Amino acid sequence: MRTRSKFQPTVLIVTTLVLISRGISAWADEEAAASVALSVRSDGRWTVVETPNFRCRCQLPEADAKRLAECCEAWRNRLRKIWITDATTANWLPRCEVCVHPGKAAYNLALNRPNDVSVGSTMMNFDQGRTVLRRIDVRADASDWSNAALPHELTHVVLGERFGGHALPRWADEGIAMLSESTEKHHERLVNLRENLARRQTLRMEELVNASRMPAPHLRDAFYGQSVALTSLLIRQSTPARFADFIEQSQRQGIDGALNQHYKVNGLVALQREWDQWTRTPETMEFVSLQLHMGLEPIVASAIDR
Ligand SMILES: [Zn+2]
């Protein structure tokens, strides 16, 4: 969902990720553990960990809270290397707030969205190109939150930096964010997409790339699956950074010319042909996985104080 901030002349981007599941797992990142400056404090039931770029609030054991903040720093570094070719070394100011809610009720209350069934959400405010708010909320009662929802939402934040507050096309914003998800989540999305293809319940390429809001519920799985599939199809032909350039150009000059220049694809009609060709053998479809590229390894599941 995207909406405009009601209190500042800023652009507010809100994205949500829907994953309904249970349980919790935490992730380690070997590089992250190296040298991140941490400050830890308690705030009632919450543990608050600050690093140079993040302020993480959670109700996890302190060791997991620290690990969470370290992973955020490591993921930020890696995602910026992938998506921002001229990234500076400057820290994010303001820091990115990461709030890990113990469950749906706390999450929905914090977002003031009583009927929301998402498990992750990103909010960014921009003022004349400058970022004035970065915030991620995730639900710790969703299994895989730490290796699917959190990396997904963090990717949205990095994309906010890459595009300087200019909204990406919905399919590309979600398509890129999904590349950071776990192998298990990709498998789930792929199974859903294959079912949608079998039922012929998918969007035409023109509908997909022009969608400015979430499609109707019966097409939502198809939208997510097609978005990550199309993003993967194009990235395979070049690099993630080139794909980001393509999106930028398509925003400025239209998608037909951008497709031609970056991928030698003669506009949306030709893209539809490529898509049809690719999906003719759905069993061979795969998504590009930056999660594997980033080399993250799972560690032990931990209990949560609900
Ligand atoms: Zn998203």
DSSP 75-94: HHHHHHHHH-TT--SPPPSS
Ligand 1 center–CA 185 separation, angstroms: 13
Ligand 1 center–CA 113 separation, angstroms: 16
Helix (H, G, I), strand (E, B) or coil at 188: helix
Domain parsing of the chain, residue ranges: 11-167, 183-290
Query: What is the crossing angle of helices 255-263 and 267-279, to 10°?
Result: 60
Helix (H, G, I), strand (E, B) or coil at 139: strand
Ligand 1 center–CA 169 separation, angstroms: 12
Ligand 1 center–CA 173 separation, angstroms: 7
Ligand 1 center–CA 6 separation, angstroms: 22
pTM: 0.85
Could you tell me which residues are beta bridge partners of residue 172?
none
Ligand 1 center–CA 225 separation, angstroms: 12
Reading the block at residue 238, the tokens are 């070049």
Give whole-number Cα distances, 212 to 58, 170, 223, 232, in Å.
33, 6, 12, 20
CB–CB of 35/74 below 8 Å?
A: no
Ligand 1 center–CA 44 separation, angstroms: 30
Indicate the class that CATH gives domain 11-167.
alpha beta
Ligand 1 center–CA 283 separation, angstroms: 25
**What's the confidence (pLDDT) of residue 195?**
95
Query: pLDDT tens, position by position, for the chain (306 residues)?
Result: 333 332 233 344 444 443 323 222 334 444 444 478 899 999 999 999 999 999 999 999 999 999 899 999 999 998 999 999 888 889 999 999 999 999 999 999 999 999 999 999 999 999 988 899 999 999 999 888 888 999 999 999 999 999 988 889 999 999 999 999 988 999 999 999 999 999 999 999 999 999 998 899 999 999 999 999 999 999 999 999 999 999 999 999 999 999 999 999 999 999 999 999 999 998 888 899 886 433 344 332 333 333
Give whole-number Cα distances, 15 to 81, 135, 232, in Å.
22, 11, 20
Interstrand relation of 297-298 and 120-127 (parallel, antiparallel or unpaired): unpaired
Ligand 1 center–CA 181 separation, angstroms: 11
Ligand 1 center–CA 84 separation, angstroms: 19
CB–CB of 137/106 below 8 Å?
A: no
In angstroms, the first-to-last Cα distance of the chain is: 28
